Structure 1
Amino acid sequence: MPAARTRTRPRLTAALLAAGACAALVTAPAHAEGPRPDDRDRALHKALEDLVGPPDGAPGAIAVLQRGRDVKVYRAGVADVESGRPPKPGDHMRIASVAKAYSGAVALRLVDRDELRLGDTIGKRLPWLPAAWHKVTLRQLLQHTSGLPDYTEDPDFIELFAADPSREFDPHRLLDFVADEPLRFRPGSRYRYSNSDNIAVALMAEAATGRRYEELLQRLVLRPLGARHTSLPRGARLPRPYLHGYAFDPGGPLEDISNAISGSAVWASGGIVSTPNDLNAFMRAYAGGRLLSKETRKQQTTWVKGSSVNPGPGRNEAGLALFKYTTRCGVVHGHTGTIPGYTQLAVATPDGRRSMTFTLNTQVSGAEKVARMRKVQEDFVCALLRH
C-alpha cells in the first residue's frame, strides 16, 4: 500500500512515553528459563532499540524468531503509548502487503486442486474487466508482471481514502478506479509492483469456485494452519489486544490510527489482520512449500528481478506472491508490507524450519530511515540463519 496519509485521526489523550523505556528481550516458551542473552542478542536488542523513539523512530518494534520449537522475541518501545505496555507476539496488527502472500496461497492451492490454472486469463475468468486486460494471466498477476495499473495510485481513490480512511469500499469494485486505463506494458515483459494484481487474483479465485474470497482464505489457508487469530475484516476496528499503529511527522505529535483504516480499501492486497505468532506459522508453511505440491512450488519459486519499493533485506527477486531475499548471510523467502501505522517483514527459510516476523508500529518512509531499517532487518535474518 503506498504511503497515503490520513486526514482524520483520533487524538491521543496522554503524552508520549519514552519509547525506549520498555525495551525487553523475551525467550520462549514462556515457562522455560533460557540462558542470559549473549553479545549477539544484546547487539540485536540495541539495533531494534535504535529504530524506536522520538524524534523520528517508531513508538515500538517487535521481532519474533523461530527455529524449530525454539522462539525468541525481541522487542523495544511500546505497543500503546497511553498505557506504556510493550509489544507482544499475540498482539493483532495490520500485516499490510504481506496479505499478498495469503491471496497467493489461496490461488496456488486452487491450482493444485485443478480449479485454477496459472495460464488462466482475466478474459477467461473475469470477462467483465476491460478488454485491454484480457490477456493477462494468473501467473503474471501473482508475479507482478501483469502491467495492470495500480488502483491505489488513482487520484479518485486517494481522495476518497484520505477523506475518510474508515469508509467501507466494495472490494469487488476497487479495480473500477482504473478500468478506463490501459496496461502499463505488455503482460510478462517486465516487473512492476501493483496492488491491483492481488485484487484480480482474489476475484479470479472467487470466479473459479463460486465462493467468497474470505471463505476460501479460511478453508484453504487459515483453518489448515490453525491460524485462529488471523482475519480479513471489511471494517476498521482491530481485535483486542492489538499493537497500536501510529502516524507522525518528525518532531510532531503522535496520532493513533490503529482503528482508522478500513480493511476493505486494500482487501486481498493488504487488508489482513494477524499476530506475529500466526504470521510466523503461515510463513513457515507458505515459504517452506508445505501448502503446495512440488510442481506448484517449483512454479512459485521461479524468480524474476524484483522490487525497489520497500524491498526488504538484501537483494530481492519476485516469485509467485513470494519474494526471495538474498542477504549477506544467506537466502530467505517471504514478503514485506507497509500501510499507515505499520511496517512489516515476514520471512522463512526455504525449508520452512526457521521463520521471522519483524514489525514496526508506524509506516517507515524516507530513504535514510528505510535504509537503516533494512540493515537491522538483515541483522535479524543473519541471526535467524546462524547455526
Structure 2
Amino acid sequence: MPSRPARPRRALSRPRLRTAFLGAAACMAVLAPAATGTAAGTAADTASGGADDPVLQRQIDRLVSESGGPPGVIAVLRSDSRTRVLRAGVSDLATGRAPRAVDHMRIASTAKAFSGAVALSLVGLGDLDLDDALRERLPRLPAAWGSVTLRQLLNHTSGLPDYTSDAEFLAVVTADPRHHFDSRRLLDYVADEPLRFTPGSRYAYSNSDNIAVALMAEAVTRTPYERLLGELVYRPLGLRDTSLPQGYRMPKPYLHGYDMSDPASPEDISEVLSASGVWASGGIVSTPADMTRFVRGYAGGALYGNSVLREQRRWIAGASEPAGPGGNSAGLGIFRYTTRCGVVLGHTGNFPGYTQLVAATPDGRRSLTFSVTRQINASVDPARLERLRAVQENFVCSLLRTPR
C-alpha cells in the first residue's frame, strides 16, 4: 500500500517550469517504500538475479526511503540474453503498484538520442551530411544562424539560443502548462536573438539544437519527424511502446511522476505539461523495456555503418543534463560516461516527475536503463544528484562485471 496519496495537480511555478525545461536536474527524495525488490511483474519484468543485486537493491531502497526521495525507481540491466530488473517504491501512490518494465514514462532529454539516431541514419543513407548548414537546409531560420552545421547541433556546439529559456515561452507555459505549441515553430521564440558564441568554439547544452535537427531531417526527406522515428528507429530496433505525442496524456499503464517539493504531500504531475513544447528535444514517451532495446542498438551502432559511427564518437568536453555517472564527454547525439569500472555510452534526461539514464557498452551487448519518478535538479539539490550518480555508477560497474 502507498504511504500517502498524492495531492491534486496544481499549476507549476515559473522557477520550477524554467528548471524543468532547461533539463538541469532536481533532487530526489522520499516516501516509505510501498513495494521494494524484484517482485514479480509481467513477463517483460522476468529477471535472473546477479551477485551484486542485494547491494544494489539496498541502494535504490535508500533512494526512495530518504526524506524527499522519488516514489519509485526501476533499473533494467541486460547482458546478451540475461536480464535483471530491480525496483523500489511504487509506480503509483494511489494504488501502490510496483514499477514494471512495461510501464510508460516520459523519457525527457534521452529523446535527444532519438533525434541523433534519425539524423545519423540519414547521414548513413546519404540524405544528410554532417557539414550541412542551416542556411542550406532551413533557410527560413535567421540568417545569423546560417553557418551552424548538423554536426554542431548534434554535439551542442552550435551556439543557438535555448528557446526554453525565453521569457515569452516560459510565460505561455506558466499561464497554461498544457498549452498546445506548434512544435515546428518553437525556434521562433528566439529567432530575434544572435548566436551565443561562434559555432564550434565551445560546448553549451541547448534544447534548441535538437529541434533544429528534427527540422533538418524533415526538410531533406519531406517526411514528418514522427514518421521518420517509426521508419528509422522504432521499426529497426523493435520498439513497440514508444511514441512522440503532442498532448499531455500518458498511455496506460504508466509510471506516475511526482513533484516532491513537499515530501509530506507529493503531487502527481505526470500529465501536467504538454509534450508539444519539447517535441524532438524531450517529448517522447517509452518504457524501460523499449529503452533497453533502443540504447543497445543505438550505442552499439546498429542503425548505420562504421564511418558514421566513427564520426559520432569524436568526443569533446561536455556533460549531459543532468550529468551521467563518472566523467562525461559529448559525441553526436550521445555521451561517453567513463566510470571507475569502464566506459558506457548513452544519454540522460529529466522532465517534471522523471529522471532518466540509458547507457550501453560500445558494442551494445550490455545495457542499463535507470528511471526514477522525480526530477533531479543540480541547481536545487546538487548533493542529492551526486548521490544518484554514485548509485548509477555502481549499477554500471555491476553491469560490466556481469558474465555475458
How far apart, in 1, do the equivalents of 2:44 and 2:166 lie? 50
Equivalent residue for 2:253?
Answer: 241
Q: Aligned ranges for residues 273-284 of structure 1 at < 5 Å?
A: 273-284=285-296
Q: Do residues 173 (structure 1) and 188 (structure 2) align?
A: no
How far apart, in 1, do the equivalents of 2:359 and 2:352 lie? 21
Equivalent residue for 2:4?
Answer: none
| Preserved contact between residue 29 and residue 70 of structure 1 (Cα < 8 Å) | no
Equivalent residue for 2:174?
Answer: 162
Q: State the SS of the aligned residue for 1:20.
A: coil
Aligned pair partner of 2:331 in 319, 322, 344: 319
Equivalent residue for 1:130?
Answer: 142
Gaps of 5+ in 1: 8-16
How far 1:250 moved relative to its partner? 4.2
| Preserved contact between residue 80 and residue 365 of structure 2 (Cα < 8 Å) | yes
How far 1:28 moved relative to its partner? 9.8
| Preserved contact between residue 227 and residue 278 of structure 1 (Cα < 8 Å) | yes
Compared CA separation, residues 33 and 53, structure 1 to 2 (3 A): closer
Equivalent residue for 2:109?
Answer: 97
Equivalent residue for 1:20?
Answer: 33
How far apart, in 2, do the equivalents of 1:295 and 1:337 lie? 27
| Preserved contact between residue 19 and residue 78 of structure 1 (Cα < 8 Å) | no
Gaps of 5+ in 2: 1-14, 21-29
Equivalent residue for 2:56?
Answer: 44
How far 1:292 moved relative to its partner? 1.2
| Preserved contact between residue 129 and residue 150 of structure 2 (Cα < 8 Å) | yes
State the Cα deviation string for residues 24-64 of structure 1 (Å, max 9, x = none). 125899599977664x2111001011111463100000000
How far 1:3 moved relative to its partner? 5.3
Aligned pair partner of 1:107 in 112, 116, 119: 119
Name the amino acid aligned to 1:124: E
Equivalent residue for 1:375?
Answer: 390
Equivalent residue for 1:270?
Answer: 282
Equivalent residue for 1:62?
Answer: 74
| Preserved contact between residue 162 and residue 190 of structure 2 (Cα < 8 Å) | yes
Q: State the SS of the aligned residue for 2:187.
A: helix
How far apart, in 2, do the equivalents of 1:153 and 1:34 lie? 42
Aligned pair partner of 1:4 in 14, 17, 20: 17
Query: Structure 1 residues 370-379 or 255-264, which shifts more?
Result: 255-264
Name the amino acid aligned to 1:301: R
| Preserved contact between residue 31 and residue 68 of structure 2 (Cα < 8 Å) | no
Q: Do residues 214 (structure 1) and 229 (structure 2) align?
A: no
Q: State the SS of the aligned residue for 1:49.
A: helix
Equivalent residue for 1:193?
Answer: 205
How far apart, in 1, do the equivalents of 2:328 and 2:197 lie? 22
| Preserved contact between residue 239 and residue 290 of structure 2 (Cα < 8 Å) | yes
How far 1:289 moved relative to its partner? 0.7
TM-score, normalised relative to structure 2 = 0.89
The RMSD of aligned alpha carbons is 2.1
Q: Aligned ranges for residues 288-299 of structure 1 at < 5 Å?
A: 288-299=300-311
How far apart, in 2, do the equivalents of 1:173 and 1:32 lie? 40
How far 1:248 moved relative to its partner? 2.2
| Preserved contact between residue 28 and residue 70 of structure 1 (Cα < 8 Å) | no
Compared CA separation, residues 34 and 134, structure 1 to 2 (3 A): closer
Q: State the SS of the aligned residue for 2:211.
A: helix
Q: Do residues 362 (structure 1) and 374 (structure 2) align?
A: yes
Q: State the SS of the aligned residue for 1:129.
A: coil
Aligned pair partner of 2:160 in 125, 144, 148: 148
Q: State the SS of the aligned residue for 1:292.
A: coil
Q: State the SS of the aligned residue for 1:334.
A: strand
Q: Do residues 78 (structure 1) and 93 (structure 2) align?
A: no
| Preserved contact between residue 105 and residue 256 of structure 2 (Cα < 8 Å) | yes
Compared CA separation, residues 237 and 23, structure 1 to 2 (3 A): same
| Preserved contact between residue 26 and residue 72 of structure 1 (Cα < 8 Å) | no
